[in-house]
Amino acid sequence: MDQFSAMHTFRRVVDLGSFSAAANQAGVSHTVLSRQVKHLERHLGTQLLTRTTRRLHLTEAGALFYRHCVQILEQMQAMTLELSEHQQQPAGTLRLGVATAFGELELGRWLPDFVERHPQLQIELHCSDRFVDLLEEEIDVCLRVTDHLPDSSLVARRLATSEVLLVAAPRYLQRHGTPASPDDLAGHPLLGYSQLLHPQRLQVANDAGEQREILMPRRLSANSPMALRAAAIGALGIASFDRFIVDDALRDGRLVQVLSHWRQPARSLFAVYPQSRYLAPKVRALLDYVQHYYATPRWQG
């Protein structure tokens, strides 16, 4: 007996309410379907349906089997569709959402290679520092560095950890002195990111487990990390950044780390995308690529 075929038949009979309706839909005889269900009952060792002249009724065992039957058949259908799409070449338009700093500083490192690997794919970038509604704005995947994701039905795949560093230009430290402890920060202006709830407040901790919260005076705030980066390089004050934003400036000496023995809470790079029973090839291709790319630590001192 083909058990999956019998399960399809059983579900069709139950959904349509009669052997006759199921036989008409399947284009076979009433007898063929009735025989399949009887064989299924014999195989399972229990009665699934009771038959009257007017309608069919599920037995208790039949109701239990029907629930599992529906789940199994839908999983098989989803698996078949996913495997079929897995063989397809990613194509069409991939709508990718990123924060502005990530778009300017990170995408150039790996996006050209990704595009070259998938010539039938077009990329549509949406750069914004606000949390966008992926469903409303039809974004396929959003890459976001954050310490908090709002509760939602979206899937969030963690890709990497991003250190958060205090930095300043050597010229600023020469003029105003280098802080030796967290207490010294209260005498220095913080270049604050205005999108934060408390732009002038810092939390730091050391290896001994000591934690401090510092309120720094304001000199300049901005809603753009890239503008704050320019201000820090221009020696306007001390700033707090994800390492990927200032990594090149640290390497070439335009910025140096301040209070390197004190750490701020790290953040994470997430790939966020709508929940779905199966992923489109273009989405799966991007997720697999960035998962592999960021598996190698990229933002380290």
Per-residue pLDDT of the chain (301 residues; tens, 9 = 90+): 578 888 888 888 888 888 888 888 888 888 888 888 888 888 888 898 887 767 788 888 888 988 888 888 888 877 776 666 655 778 889 999 999 999 999 999 999 999 999 998 999 999 988 777 777 778 899 999 988 777 667 888 999 998 999 999 999 999 999 999 999 988 899 998 877 777 778 889 988 888 988 888 888 888 889 999 999 999 999 999 999 999 999 999 999 999 989 999 889 999 998 887 667 889 989 999 999 999 988 776 6
Across the chain, how many H-helices and E-strands are there?
10, 14
What is the structure's pLDDT at 133? 76
Residues in contact with 274: Cβ distance below 8 Å, sequence separation at least 6, in sequence order: 134, 135, 153, 154, 155
DSSP per position, 33-101: HHHHHHHHHHHHTS--EEE-SS-EEE-HHHHHHHHHHHHHHHHHHHHHHHHHHHTSPP-EEEEEEE-HH
Task: Output the pLDDT for position 84.
Answer: 65
What class, spelled out in words, does domain 3-86 have in CATH? mainly alpha
CA-CA distance, 41 to 49, in Å (whole number)? 9
**For residue 52, what are its two tokens?**
């009257």
Structure-block tokens of residue 259: 């209070």
Fold (CATH) for 164-257: D-Maltodextrin-Binding Protein; domain 2 (3.40.190)
Residue-level pLDDT at 33: 84
Do 237 and 191 meet the contact criterion of CB atoms below 8 Å apart?
yes
pLDDT of residue 82: 67
**92-163+267-293 and 164-257 in the same fold:** yes
Q: What pLDDT sits at residue 130?
A: 79
pLDDT at 292: 95
Q: Please count the other Cβ atoms lying within 10 Å of the Cβ belonging to residue 174.
A: 10
- Where along the chain do its domains lie? 3-86, 92-163+267-293, 164-257
Check residue 256 and give its pLDDT: 96
pLDDT value for 128: 86
Q: What is the CATH number of domain 92-163+267-293?
A: 3.40.190.10
